[in-house]
């Protein structure tokens, strides 16, 4: 029997080693994977932080990337971090390694499923510090290709997206280097997304 209660599939800020270890004490090695049957989008508003995060919902026609993290139990700290989601189980058959090979697991896999579908708006914009956290995690887990996959498999990018790098507003952000920020902007530009991003001095 596994010593772990389950695996958690992280697909947003939990992609970042710094964010998940410093703010949720999830210190196990993360395995980059692809998940079919789920769609990641900018659909989760956080009223307390007044910003939007990525969320995930079941969609048989979709796929997205993420990381598998061994989690001994869902504690109060993790529940608080993911309070805008519910923990839902996904089938192991939906998960493959980056090589495309199936994965063998000894415990159930859970994902944070969005409770409400609310796209980013002027009162709950996407913050660049959150985008950076997700993409720094992707760069750590699987390099530029993995980061590009995050961008391409995430839906509902829109103009309610503020560049807060000079005064980061996402409270569980990763520490991004200057080179990482340059690379992130390069990848976003390749996808013709930077024209949506607005500057802010808040």
Per-residue pLDDT of the chain (202 residues; tens, 9 = 90+): 345 678 999 999 999 999 999 988 888 889 999 999 999 999 999 999 999 999 999 999 999 999 999 987 666 676 677 777 788 999 999 999 988 898 999 889 999 999 889 999 999 999 999 999 999 999 999 999 999 999 999 999 999 999 999 999 999 999 999 999 999 999 999 999 999 999 875 4
Pairwise CA distance, residues 61 & 75, whole Å: 32
pLDDT at 79: 67
Q: What is the CATH number of the domain that holds 193?
A: 3.10.490.10
pLDDT at 114: 92
Whole-angstrom CA distances from 177 to 27, 29, 108, 181 are: 21, 21, 35, 6
pLDDT at 1: 37
Domain presence at residue 127 = yes
Domain presence at residue 83 = yes
Domain presence at residue 25 = yes
SS3 59: strand
Structure tokens at 97: 């390694």
Domain presence at residue 109 = yes
Domain presence at residue 126 = yes
Whole-angstrom CA distances from 188 to 29, 95, 148, 157 are: 27, 26, 8, 11
CB atoms within 10 A of CB 73: 8
Structural domains in the chain (count) = 1
Scan for tokens 């608080």, then name that residue.
80
Residues in Cβ contact with 142 at an 8 Å cutoff, skipping those fewer than 6 apart: 32, 65, 98, 149
Pairwise CA distance, residues 133 & 15, whole Å: 8
Structure tokens at 162: 């503020």
Q: Tell me if the pTM is above 0.85.
A: yes
The distance in angstroms from the start CA to the end CA of the chain is: 51
Domain presence at residue 173 = yes
Domain presence at residue 185 = yes
Domain presence at residue 1 = no
What is the span of the domain harbouring residue 110?
A: 6-199
Structure tokens at 74: 């869902």
For residue 14, the 8-state DSSP code is G
| Residue 67 contacts residue 33 (beta carbons within 8 Å) | yes
The closest alpha carbon to 129, from 181, 189, 60, belongs to 181
Backbone phi, psi, residue 45, to 5°? -90, 140
């Amino acid at each position: 029997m596994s010593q772990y209660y389950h695996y958690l599939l992280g697909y947003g800020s939990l992609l970042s080693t710094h964010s998940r270890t410093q703010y949720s004490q999830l210190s196990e090695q993360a395995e980059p994977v692809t998940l079919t049957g789920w769609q990641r989008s900018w659909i989760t508003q956080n009223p307390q932080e007044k910003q939007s995060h990525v969320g995930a919902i079941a969609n048989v026609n979709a796929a997205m990337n993420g990381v598998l993290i061994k989690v001994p139990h869902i504690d109060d700290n993790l529940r608080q971090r993911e309070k805008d989601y519910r923990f839902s189980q996904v089938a192991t058959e939906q998960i493959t390694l980056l090589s495309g090979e199936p994965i063998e697991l000894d415990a159930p896999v859970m994902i944070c499923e969005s409770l409400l579908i609310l796209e980013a708006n002027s009162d709950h914009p996407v913050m660049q510090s959150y985008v950076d956290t997700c993409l720094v995690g992707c760069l750590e887990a699987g390099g530029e290709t993995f980061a590009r996959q995050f961008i391409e498999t995430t839906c509902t990018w829109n103009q309610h997206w503020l560049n807060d790098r000079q005064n980061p507003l996402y409270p569980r952000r990763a520490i991004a280097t200057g080179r990482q920020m340059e690379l992130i902007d390069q990848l976003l530009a390749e996808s013709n997304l930077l024209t949506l991003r607005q500057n802010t001095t808040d």
